[in-house]
Homo-oligomer: A and B are copies of this chain.
Amino acid sequence: MTRQQLVEQIRNKQTYLIVGLDTDITKIPKHLLTKTDPIFEFNKQIIDATKDYCVGYKINTAFYEALGIPGWEAMEKTAAYIPATHFRIADAKRGDIGNTSSQYAKAFFETLQFDAITVAPYMGADSVLPFLEYKDKWTIVLGLTSNTGARDFELQKAGDELLYEKVLRTAAQWGTADQLMFVVGATQASEFANIRSITPNNFYLVPGVGAQGGSLKEISEKAMNKEVGLLVNASRAVIYASGEEDFAVKAMLIAKEYQQEMAGYL
């Protein structure tokens, strides 16, 4: 999906919501557990219910890997089920030496056909460039994350700036804004204006609204650019809106609430 297609979809649907499929077998409604593949069944119903209110889905690979092969199967089926009109993100936080990152890129861009993957920057340029070689795919580099651990390194001094600032400034040179996004946590709203000044043109994938407490209003006001430049992810707040048989309807209602709030900021 090109940047232009993504922006058009946001404008047309008046939403920049990404629904996060952090699907946990212990949290999905009990009546699904009798299905052949409860995780996929849950995801399928969530996707059917929410697709008009979001522009994409983010699969958190950890929740699938925890189940072993059945989990990987559920991930593959889910990725294939997401409509081609929607942006498909593998939230995988991968990154390794070049020949290994090439294998991860192959896994998520070719074998699983995601549009985007999240990547950890610690190991530097040659750990990220193999992903960026896929010019028609998106590499989403961790910038400033939503968790308290961001204080340990990301928000520490690195020369005359903070580490996350150095990461943004450096990684932004590795690819164009047509293929490179950054993860910026919604809980870091006080840094958003600064982040936007460092990377004026890149899209941000913003987790951390909902269960983690970030404010959609604040990040939208501070970080939107003229091409929107924001994809805001909600996972638990949407998919676990109800733990009962009405889970898909409740997920739809929450997704719709986000969409309506987002329409007001666009």
Residues of A whose CB lies within 8 Å of any CB of B are: 22, 24, 60, 62-63, 65-69, 71-73, 76, 91, 93-101, 103-104, 106-108, 110-112, 120-128, 142, 145-154, 156-159, 163, 166-167, 170, 212
Contacts and interface: CB of A to CB of B under 8 A. Distances in A.
Contacts of A106: 66
Nearest to A101: B62
A90 to B, nearest CB: 10
Nearest to A110: B66
Nearest to A124: B149
Given A69-B72, A163-B158, A62 B123 contact: no
Contact of A157 (B93, B154, B158): B158
What 3 A-B pairs are tightest by C-beta distance, nearest first?
A124-B149, A124-B152, A62-B103
23 contacts: A60-B100, A62-B103, A63-B103, A65-B103, A65-B107, A66-B104, A66-B107, A68-B76, A69-B69, A97-B146, A97-B212, A121-B153, A122-B122, A122-B145, A122-B153, A124-B147, A124-B149, A124-B152, A125-B148, A127-B149, A153-B163, A158-B159, A163-B163
Contact of A68 (B99, B107, B152): B107
A62 B108 CA distance: 10
Question: How many copies of this chain sit in the oligomeric assembly?
Answer: 2
Contacts of A24: 103
Contact of A76 (B69, B107, B163): B69
